[in-house]
């Protein structure tokens, strides 16, 4: 079953509602949402439920480390059970009110046990 754009938006909202206290958010790129999430090479197909479990585990186990990352850092989220991998990039921008905007951009997604990531920072869930 394919995942549509509305489900991606609902997933982002689900994730980001859990992150308000940390003043950070995750944003899925069009490459993630359109090109890769429903790619036939993801066998079996990726489900929204799998992604919720992965992000719940990521938030529970690694959110303080993610918030501590610097602007332009990159990292990979690797699920050791489902073999889903999601390379990400950090954007941090100072705001006029003195706070820092912290966004984690989820660049792509792939279910692949032997997925190679150039990122030295990896969060296993």
**Whole-angstrom distance, CA of residue 66 vs CA of residue 85:** 16
Instruction: For residue range 6-58, list pLDDT tens digits in order.
Output: 999 999 999 999 999 999 999 999 998 888 999 999 999 999 999 999 999 99
Residue 68 sits at the vertex; the CA angle it makes with 67 and 69, to the nearest 5 degrees, is 95
Question: What pLDDT sits at residue 1?
Answer: 72
Kindly state whether residue 97 falls inside one of the protein's structural domains: yes
Kindly state whether residue 124 falls inside one of the protein's structural domains: no
Question: What pLDDT sits at residue 63?
Answer: 96
Kindly state whether residue 103 falls inside one of the protein's structural domains: yes
**Whole-angstrom distance, CA of residue 5 vs CA of residue 11:** 10
- How many residues belong to the chain? 125
* Count: domains in the chain: 1
The answer to whether 8 touches 51, Cβ cutoff 8 Å, is no
Distances (CA, A) of 106 to 80, 94, 103, 109: 18, 21, 10, 8
Question: What pLDDT sits at residue 94?
Answer: 85
Kindly state whether residue 29 falls inside one of the protein's structural domains: yes
Question: What pLDDT sits at residue 122?
Answer: 97
Instruction: For residue range 51-109, list pLDDT tens digits in order.
Output: 999 999 999 999 999 999 999 999 999 999 999 999 999 999 888 888 888 999 999 99
Kindly state whether residue 76 falls inside one of the protein's structural domains: yes
Domain region containing 58:
5-113
**Whole-angstrom distance, CA of residue 20 vs CA of residue 42:** 31
């Amino acid at each position: 079953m394919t995942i549509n754009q509305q489900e991606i938006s609902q997933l982002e909202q689900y994730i980001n509602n859990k992150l308000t206290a940390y003043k950070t958010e995750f944003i899925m790129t069009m490459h993630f949402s359109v090109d890769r999430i429903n790619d036939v090479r993801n066998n079996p197909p990726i489900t929204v439920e799998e992604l919720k479990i992965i992000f719940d585990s990521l938030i529970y186990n690694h959110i303080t480390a993610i918030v501590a990352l610097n602007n332009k850092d990159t990292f990979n989220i690797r699920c050791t059970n489902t073999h889903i991998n999601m390379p990400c990039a950090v954007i941090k921008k100072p705001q006029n009110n003195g706070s820092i905007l912290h966004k984690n951009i989820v660049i792509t997604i792939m279910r692949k046990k032997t997925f190679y990531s150039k990122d030295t920072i990896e969060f296993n869930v």
